[in-house]
């Protein structure tokens, strides 16, 4: 067989193998079909809100549908395990959060290794958490909440998006720093937790800003403090926990786009560049600002270093706070 026909034959076989999923597509052919972003919490929570905002814009720039696949459960670890085992071809991505840096300190055994099985693409956003309460409780400050909790030991429940979630660890920090007797109630995401807080089934939560903001503005929940050391422009007049009697309380929730380990570096770099362009768009910036969200800006290498330091930090905090789960 002449070389030209050999090359045509080989390229034809390769194309069939790519289509069948036997061989990964080359970076210069990507994307040639829809892309899925696995979101490890149910629809309606902050991770879902951020992922959909970014996914819509990536779909426009990549000229392919970007599908949001909500896989909630176990504080975000169910979705992480699914993403870690997905093909490393650039067609499955993962919206990781600070919860995945916390999880090794909460769960005795995980079916994946966060830093080994998922490759960093780019930091999407960061946001403060906000301490919110059922407005039917007669408290309007952190000091009044602490007094209320101490007057009702074991009767105040705080909700979270699941064991090991940012809301869980935020609540455990509050519990340990105030020496309060409050009960943790885990959900499969921020949306069902918020529904129960509004409905009066639980009394408090330390929720991420985008999920809490519309309900605070509507008066359905009351904001008492934010978790960062600086006040948030999304909550005018709301103090920080640090200045409300919990010195040193500091927690920022972050969201990062990742891919299964082994995804071609050229695809990772392309995604990082597309994400950076999305996060500079005026309508995205406006939407993030309204919700108290700061857009991210990191290379994959910088994100890997950041995730390493965050994991070391929050695993220690989770263990010190006794936030464990079987």
Computed over every residue of the chain, the mean pLDDT equals 91
Its pTM stands at 0.84
Tokens read off for 54 = 């970014």
| Residue 237 pLDDT > 80 | yes
pLDDT tens for 262-284 read 999 999 999 999 999 999 999 99
pLDDT tens for 89-105 read 999 999 999 999 999 99
If pLDDT is split at 50, 70 and 90, which confidence band does 27 have? low
- Domains within the chain, CATH numbers bracketed: 26-127+252-320 (3.40.190.150), 128-244 (3.40.190.10)
| Residue 250 pLDDT > 50 | yes
The mean pLDDT value for 127-145 works out to 97
The mean pLDDT value for 219-242 works out to 95
Other Cβ atoms closer than 10 A to 200: 11
Closest Cα to residue 120, out of 252, 261, 24, 253? Answer: 261
Closest Cα to residue 193, out of 172, 208, 173, 179? Answer: 208
| Residue 14 pLDDT > 80 | no
| Residue 13 pLDDT > 80 | no
Which of helix, strand or coil describes residue 105? helix
Phi, psi torsion values for 44, nearest 5 degrees: 105, -20
The verdict on whether omega for the bond into residue 31 sits within 30 degrees of 0, i.e. cis, is: yes
Say what the pLDDT of residue 11 is: 42
Closest Cα to residue 18, out of 89, 108, 117, 94? Answer: 89
Say what the pLDDT of residue 292 is: 87
The mean pLDDT value for 216-232 works out to 96
The mean pLDDT value for 27-46 works out to 92
Going by their DSSP bridges, the two strands 222-226 and 204-208 should be labelled as unpaired
Q: Which residues of 205-218 are buried (b: 16+ CB within 10 A; e: fewer)?
A: bbbbbbbbbebbee
If pLDDT is split at 50, 70 and 90, which confidence band does 8 have? very low
- Distance (Å, rounded) from C-alpha 254 to C-alpha 124? 8
pLDDT tens for 179-214 read 999 999 999 888 999 999 999 999 999 999 989 999
Q: Where are the beta strands (DSSP E) in the chain?
A: 35-39, 66-70, 92-97, 118-133, 156-160, 182-186, 204-208, 222-226, 252-260, 294-295
Say what the pLDDT of residue 26 is: 59
Say what the pLDDT of residue 141 is: 98
Closest Cα to residue 54, out of 2, 3, 102, 122? Answer: 122
Which residues are CB-contacts of 163 (< 8 A; sequence separation ≥ 6)?
74, 75, 106, 107, 186, 323, 325
pLDDT tens for 309-323 read 999 999 998 888 777
Beta bridge partners of 97: 255
Which residues are CB-contacts of 323 (< 8 A; sequence separation ≥ 6)?
102, 105, 106, 163, 164, 168, 169, 172
| Residue 16 pLDDT > 60 | no
Phi, psi torsion values for 234, nearest 5 degrees: -75, -15
Angle, to 10 degrees, between the axis of helix 46-62 and the axis of helix 265-278? Answer: 110
The mean pLDDT value for 245-268 works out to 97
Number of helices (H), then strands (E), belonging to the chain: the values are 12, 10
């Amino acid at each position: 067989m002449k070389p030209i026909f050999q090359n045509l034959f080989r390229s034809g076989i390769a194309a069939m193998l790519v289509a069948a999923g036997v061989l990964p597509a080359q970076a210069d052919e990507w994307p040639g079909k829809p892309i899925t972003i696995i979101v490890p919490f149910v629809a309606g929570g902050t991770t879902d809100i951020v992922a959909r905002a970014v996914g819509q814009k990536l779909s426009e720039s990549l000229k392919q549908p970007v599908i949001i696949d909500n896989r909630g459960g176990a504080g975000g670890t169910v979705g992480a395990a699914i993403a870690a085992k997905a093909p490393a071809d650039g067609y499955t991505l993962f919206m990781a959060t600070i919860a995945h840096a916390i999880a090794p300190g909460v769960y005795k055994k995980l079916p994946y290794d966060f830093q080994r099985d998922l490759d960093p693409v780019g930091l999407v956003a960061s946001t403060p958490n906000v301490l919110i309460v059922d407005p039917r409780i007669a408290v309007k400050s952190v000091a009044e909440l602490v007094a209320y909790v101490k007057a009702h030991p074991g009767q105040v429940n705080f909700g979270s998006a699941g064991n090991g979630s940012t809301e869980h660890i935020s609540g455990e920090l509050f519990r340990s720093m105030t020496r309060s007797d409050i009960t943790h109630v885990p959900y499969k995401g921020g949306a069902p937790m918020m529904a129960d807080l509004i409905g009066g089934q639980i009394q408090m939560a330390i929720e991420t800003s985008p999920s809490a903001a519309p309900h605070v503005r509507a008066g359905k929940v009351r904001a008492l403090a934010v978790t960062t050391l600086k006040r948030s422009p999304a909550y005018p007049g709301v103090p920080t926990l640090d200045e409300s009697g919990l010195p040193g309380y500091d927690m920022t929730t972050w969201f990062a786009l990742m891919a299964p380990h082994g995804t071609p570096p050229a695809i990772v770099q392309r995604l990082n560049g597309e994400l950076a362009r999305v996060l500079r768009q005026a309508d995205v910036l406006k939407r993030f600002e309204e919700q108290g969200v700061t857009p991210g800006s990191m290379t994959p290498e910088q994100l890997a270093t950041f995730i390493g330091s965050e994991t070391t930090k929050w695993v220690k905090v989770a263990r010190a706070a006794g936030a464990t789960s079987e």
